[in-house]
Amino acid sequence: MSHHLFLALLLTMGGTGVLLAQPSEPLDLGQAIYRQHCMECHGSTGKGDGAKAPFLSPRPGNLISAATSAKTDHELLRTIAQGKPRTSMPAWQDVLPAEDQQAVLQYIRSLVRFTRPLTPPPPGP
């Protein structure tokens, strides 16, 4: 029995959810890290509108903006690792292992896909 199937069975049978403390999917891990470390500034959907955002200058980045989306994974990972000078964005390289930084990047990339389509729908006949 695969780990994922076991987890699904455990959850559907009313399991306690203890296994969720160690998410197996990178996206789940990324979401957990984002909620713990990023959401209070960047907001639940990544728009830079978290609870602390009004008190920060400059305001937190909009992670689903076209400008952010256009950055390479390398550029975004560097920002996650090293932070941004003269902003409230801290360096996470000494807090989060590289795989966690990668997982949170994957989650941030997923926010764009879930928020709006990247291409317009095709024109009708």
Q: What is the pLDDT of residues 43-81, one digit of tens each?
A: 999 999 999 999 999 999 999 999 999 999 999 999 999
Residue 125 lies in a domain: no
- Is the distance from CB of 1 to CB of 7 less than 8 angstroms? no
Q: Which domain holds residue 80?
A: 23-115
Residue 31 lies in a domain: yes
Percent of the chain beyond pLDDT 70?
A: 71
pLDDT the model gives residue 122:
67
Residue 11 lies in a domain: no
Q: Which of 15-19, 36-40, 67-71, 78-82 has the least mean pLDDT? A: 15-19
Kindly report the CATH number assigned to the domain that includes residue 46.
1.10.760.10
Instruction: List C-alpha distances in Å: 52 to 30, 48, 120.
Output: 21, 9, 33
Residue 81 lies in a domain: yes
Residue 98 lies in a domain: yes
Place of tokens 């003269």: 86
Query: Is 0.75 surpassed by the pTM of this model?
Result: no
Residue 97 lies in a domain: yes
Q: How many domains does the chain have?
A: 1
